[in-house]
Chains A and B, each alone.
Chain A
Amino acid sequence: MKKSFLAILFSLLSLVLLFSFIDNGSYFLITKQDVAFKKPKGFPKPLYDLEKNKPTPEGFMLGRKLFYDPILSKDNTVSCATCHQQFAAFAQTDHSFSHGVNGLFGKRNAPALQNLIWRDAFMVDGGVNHLDLQPIAPITNPLEMNEDLPSVLKKLQQNKEYVALFKEVYKDSIISSNHFLKSLSQFLSLLISADSRYDRYIHKKDTLSNYELNGLKLFRANCASCHTEPLFTDNSYRSNSIGINPVIKDSGRFLITRLPADLMKFKVPSLRNIEVSYPYMHDGRFYSLKQVLNHYSKISSSKNVIDPILKNMPVLNDQEQKDIIAFLKTLTDKAFLHDKRFMDPGTRIYIPKPIVKTETKVVPKIDESIIAKYKTEWESVTLATIDGIPQYISYMDKLDEITQNISKQLKKQKNTELENLRSEFLASKKHKEAIKNYIIFGQPTSKDEIIKPCKKQLKNIVNETDIIDSELKGQSKKGWVVLVKYNSKNKSGNIVLKTINFDVKYNPIEKNYVILKAN
């Protein structure tokens, strides 16, 4: 008895905890401060022009949603985040090659995505020359997302939520390649890692151990000419003589330039967050930093070294290698790896809403007589008829005018009673019927406008002179009823008077009258 009571209490408690966690969904909402770019101390000027695509909270959130959405792949199974995981600095942990659609393997190790606005080119071969154009490569690669750009845009265009989001950000409900790619860039450009222990040591906010400091010293002497601080890359392409991968046969930069000198050259990667972005090298062949250090330590004795800078690489002893690794681990930026801004927004439907500040000011109550005045006004609006034709437009205009007046009043003074009154009017039968009737009957200037298409159709069967009379009889549920009398010869050749009934409906799109039925 006591046990079960405890169990219930415990599960209730955990539920409360769970809900309090879910409710604390503040990471869904991004503020202006969250997307404001602050150049990290000591970093150079970014190469990406943020002024041309300045992140806004809505644009950033849209880009993030796209980044985490498998809709970008052919069979809706692979998202950018499939191969770029935040906890691995947006590389993919433990995968030499990542999985694409249909269980296919890509041909290169997914690189970390960080500090992209300081990159002059993308991909390990530097084939892509602009951040905005980079996402097209994995989206269209048959081994990765296997999609094409027009098809992605079509899928997004068919998704009401995306249409609403794009409209919110770009004031345009047509989703263009430009807006699509710019949104992704707004997310990608803010993936900035500059708050590791190393950074805090440089800015004198933290200390490093003696091993780590020795590692930094060795690093600066032997590695930093390519892995230059503070970005830990010099953005160059180099051959580190690891030899061609016999399976994928990737010749690197050569594929882009076709220059023999560029054979087996790959972009020098940044070493920030290197601890979590394993495996290493363009094909992910090394699973540990120890293996990497081992490779460079033996490199000067190797015969096929091409890059002169590596020819002078000293042989590092075990302790020296350990110290360098200890230093490399200080480049892990926990704040970046756990930054809530970059997390998966989840599958919850996000509808953009401006953040409403709760005001403590007491709103004065509105005068009852104003409410009463609006109500009488609303009730007194009647549908006028001129020459048998109901005047729907002026009727709707009068109703609109009243709701607009309420809206104006609301702007001056926030008041729930007024707000309720407005929505009550908009949902009222009177208002809805006016719209419905207008769609069915339209607003003809004269009866002739409705009768005309009937006569026109009749002219296909009988002579114009045989049409004796036409009359607008009234309205049915479906539309106007028109009666036309005409002379017709019967089988025995005698002329008889016939009548024909037309159901005529207004077509609000073409703005004309169409015949629904004739009998």
Chain B
Amino acid sequence: MNTVRKIIISSFFIAFLTVIFSFKSSQKAKVSIQFKNYVGNAVLQLDSTYKNVLGQNFIIANFKYYIGNICLKKADGKNYIMQNYFLINEYEEDSKQITLDNVPEGNYTSIEFIVGVDSLHNCSGLQEGALDPTNGMFWAWNTGYVFLKLEGQAPASKSSGNIFEYHIGGYKQPTNSTRKITLNFKGDKIVSAANPLSLLIKADALEVLKTPTIIDFSKLPSVTDTRNAAIIANNYMDMFSLLEK
């Protein structure tokens, strides 16, 4: 009698635990990612004057870029991948905030994403949302998205109005301008429904003009097709870093 009761109680207990655990493992956590644009160590202010490493003055009038294929990496290799695209636009505060609602709980080690738009989305016709061709980031004469736009004025630029403009795109080899960015967390981030993760990513516009190639406004004031795009694309590879919140 006693053993029967024990068995019943313990089986109930096991069932209870299973329910709890299965419930727990299916819990989804929220991850919010905020992009903040900088020029060097200063927060980007449109129309403020900055200096590049050559000492040339410049102001930024427009700064936009595509972020896509966001991947949150776990040590056990069970990564979370999201295939949507986001257009980060300096002019629109809302565009800088990305919220991922259904991230499985776990210990995450790093975040990966691409700057740009992968070839699939460049080749399959009409797209909607962030990739709508009306967003001003689309080349009509040579199909494809502009991945990053950095425009402004620099007295050193000899083009009319002292304008500089970098429209970087191209998904076809050999001028594929998409770049994969990996940002490692300082130690694992334990993410759960009760403990959502919020990341602050610094995007430094000055890096677009700096390493590995220093951009001289007087020599290269404009890149608007796949010529020279690789130079700028290699430069924006290191423009992102994690800021501790």
Contact = CB atoms under 8 A, between A and B. Distances in A.
B146 to A, nearest CB: 13
Main secondary structure of the interface of B (DSSP, over half): loop
Contact of A133 (B125, B134, B172, B225): B125
Given A130-B125, A178-B128, A258-B227, A149 B141 contact: no
Nearest to B229: A258
Interface in B25-43: none
Contacts of B122: 129
A137 interface: yes
Contacts of A133: 125-126, 133, 140, 143
Nearest to B226: A258
Interface in A86-135: 123, 127-133
Given A127-B142, A140-B140, A141-B141, A132 B125 contact: yes
| Count class of interface residues, chain A | 20 to 34
A136 B132 CA distance: 12
A107 to B, nearest CB: 11
Contacts of A127: 141-143
B92 to A, nearest CB: 15
Contacts of B125: 52, 130-133
Contacts of A140: 140
Contacts of B227: 258
A76 to B, nearest CB: 19
B126 A258 contact: no
| Count class of interface residues, chain B | 10 to 19
Contact of A258 (B124, B132, B143, B175): B175
Interface in B224-239: 225-227
A128 B126 contact: no
A137 B140 contact: yes
A132 B225 CA distance: 22
A130 B143 contact: yes
A127 B142 CA distance: 4
A177 interface: yes
Contact of B134 (A132, A137, A149, A257): A149
Contacts of B172: 257
A153 B134 contact: yes
Contact of A129 (B132, B133, B143, B225): B143
Contacts of A346: none
B171 to A, nearest CB: 10
B123 interface: yes
B126 A136 contact: no
A131 B226 CA distance: 22
Contacts, number: 57
Nearest to B138: A136
Interface string A145-168: 000011001000000000000000
A176 B134 CA distance: 9
Contact of A128 (B128, B143, B226): B143
A255 interface: yes
Contacts of A256: 142
Main secondary structure of the interface of A (DSSP, over half): helix
A182 interface: yes
Contacts of A129: 122-123, 143
B123 A177 contact: no
A418 interface: no
A192 B140 CA distance: 25
Contact of B123 (A130, A139, A255): A130
A424 to B, nearest CB: 46
A181 interface: yes
A481 B126 CA distance: 57
B44 to A, nearest CB: 25
B226 A178 contact: no
A155 B65 CA distance: 28
A128 B132 contact: no
A53 B225 CA distance: 31
Given A130-B125, A132-B125, A258-B175, A177 B133 contact: yes
A257 B140 CA distance: 15
Contact of A150 (B123, B134, B140, B226): B134
Nearest to A139: B140
Interface string B136-152: 00101111000000000
Contact of A136 (B123, B133, B225, B226): B133
Nearest to A133: B143
Contacts of B128: 176, 178
Interface in B104-157: 122-126, 128, 132-134, 138, 140-143
Contact of B126 (A132, A153, A257): A132
Nearest to B172: A257
Given A130-B123, A178-B126, A137 B175 contact: no
Contacts of A150: 134
A238 B134 CA distance: 33
Nearest to A259: B174
B141 A128 contact: yes
Contacts of B124: 130
A177 B132 contact: yes
A129 B141 CA distance: 10
A129 B172 CA distance: 12
Interface in A167-206: 176-178, 181-182
26 contacts: A52-B125, A127-B142, A127-B143, A128-B140, A128-B141, A129-B123, A130-B125, A130-B126, A130-B143, A132-B125, A132-B126, A133-B125, A133-B126, A133-B133, A136-B138, A141-B140, A153-B134, A176-B128, A177-B126, A178-B132, A181-B133, A255-B142, A256-B142, A257-B172, A258-B225, A258-B227
Q: 10 shortest A-B CB distances, which residue pairs? A: A130-B125, A136-B140, A127-B142, A129-B143, A132-B125, A137-B140, A132-B126, A149-B134, A177-B134, A150-B134
Given A132-B125, A139-B140, 15 more contacts: A123-B141, A128-B141, A132-B126, A133-B126, A136-B140, A137-B141, A140-B140, A141-B141, A149-B133, A153-B134, A177-B134, A178-B126, A181-B126, A255-B142, A258-B226
